[in-house]
């Protein structure tokens, strides 16, 4: 499949600090990629390099096999965290303007925008001024602006901030649909539960460096602590407490830690043999949130 984006030793310094320090990672094509990191980690600096707003001091950025250059903005769609629109412009006018700046012809822009307006059921907004729209409505327009030119690479910086649950789901669905159609998506956030739901790959940036990367499941496995949990009814056999390291026991739910996860099936077997009625039995994988906090704390 190849990568849509390859970053090699990217470095960016501003006058008083290093914003991006030797960051390398690849983003596979046609996936939703989570760019994670606490505030001030260098996410926005990195995104600004990818969107050609600024340039890296050193290192290379390869977009779809080509060195990043000034014609690339037309294949990138970027929705910044801090976003706004020209308040006095009419919605239709505004959408066409931004689409044309991405290189679409007027006719193309019109038909593509119409498609999106129909999709969101907001065709009657065409002549409304942006300032007449509510914040959530403006976000929809913003989303259309970002995707109207059918970018190969879509970069969404905290796309759900300020959205109600209804619109969040709407945009989430659109993101998934775009991915199905072949768009590669970078999803930058510090809200981990969203990442777990949406992203397949992640990279974790902290203090300008990437500290962690890979597929979401792999990462979670990488950080697992061999914790298992089962729910049961009946009496708990003694061998559990005697032979294994139990973390917690409360009303029918036990969490314990294993030295070697090979034993987990054995324990299940022993439990069943002991006549315990097992309601559920599973390995506890750390949430990205936990990994995130652990990694960030470790480094600082």
| Single residue of 2, 40, 60, 87 touching other proteins by CB under 8 A | 87
Q: Say how far apart CA 212 and CA 205 lie, in whole Å.
A: 7
Window 95-114: contact mask with other proteins (x via CB under 8 A): --xx-xxxx-----------
Site for other proteins contains 54 (CB under 8 A):
yes
| Single residue of 9, 17, 55, 265 touching other proteins by CB under 8 A | 55
| Single residue of 4, 20, 27, 83 touching other proteins by CB under 8 A | 83
Length of the chain: 300
Window 11-50: contact mask with other proteins (x via CB under 8 A): ----x--------------------------------x--
Q: Say how far apart CA 186 and CA 191 lie, in whole Å.
A: 14
Residue 239 CB partners (closer than 8 Å, separation 6+): 270, 274
| Minimum CB distance to other proteins smaller for 152 or for 220 | 152
Site for other proteins contains 159 (CB under 8 A):
no
Site for other proteins contains 119 (CB under 8 A):
no
Site for other proteins contains 76 (CB under 8 A):
yes
Instruction: Give the residues lining the site for other proteins (CB under 8 A).
Output: 15, 48, 51-55, 57, 70, 73-74, 76, 78-80, 82-89, 97-98, 100-103, 142, 145
């Amino acid at each position: 499949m190849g990568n849509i984006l390859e970053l090699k030793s990217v470095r960016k310094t501003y006058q008083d600090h290093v914003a991006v320090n030797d960051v390398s990672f690849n983003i596979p094509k046609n996936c939703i990629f989570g760019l994670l990191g606490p505030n001030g980690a260098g996410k926005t600096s990195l995104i600004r390099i990818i969107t050609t707003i600024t340039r890296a001091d050193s290192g290379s950025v390869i977009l779809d096999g080509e060195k990043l250059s000034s014609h690339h903005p037309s294949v990138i769609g970027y929705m910044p965290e801090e976003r706004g629109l020209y308040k006095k412009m009419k919605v239709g006018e505004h959408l066409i303007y931004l689409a044309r700046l991405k290189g679409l012809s007027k006719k193309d822009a019109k038909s593509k925008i119409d498609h999106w307006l129909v999709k969101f059921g907001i065709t009657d907004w065409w002549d409304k001024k942006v300032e007449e729209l509510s914040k959530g409505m403006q976000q929809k327009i913003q989303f259309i602006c970002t995707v109207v030119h059918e970018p190969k690479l879509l970069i969404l910086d905290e796309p759900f901030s300020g959205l109600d649950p209804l619109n969040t789901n709407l945009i989430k669905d659109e993101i998934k649909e775009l991915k199905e159609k072949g768009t590669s998506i970078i999803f930058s956030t510090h809200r981990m539960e969203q990442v777990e739901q949406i992203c397949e790959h992640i990279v974790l940036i902290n203090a300008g460096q990437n500290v962690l990367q890979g597929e979401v499941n792999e990462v979670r496995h990488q950080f697992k602590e061999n914790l298992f949990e089962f729910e049961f009814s009946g009496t708990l056999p003694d061998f559990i407490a005697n032979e294994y390291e139990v973390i917690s026991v409360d009303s029918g739910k036990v969490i314990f830690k294993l030295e070697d996860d090979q034993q987990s099936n054995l324990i299940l077997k022993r439990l069943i043999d002991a006549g315990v009625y097992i309601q559920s039995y599973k390995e506890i994988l750390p949430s990205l949130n936990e990994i995130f906090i652990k990694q960030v704390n470790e480094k600082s």
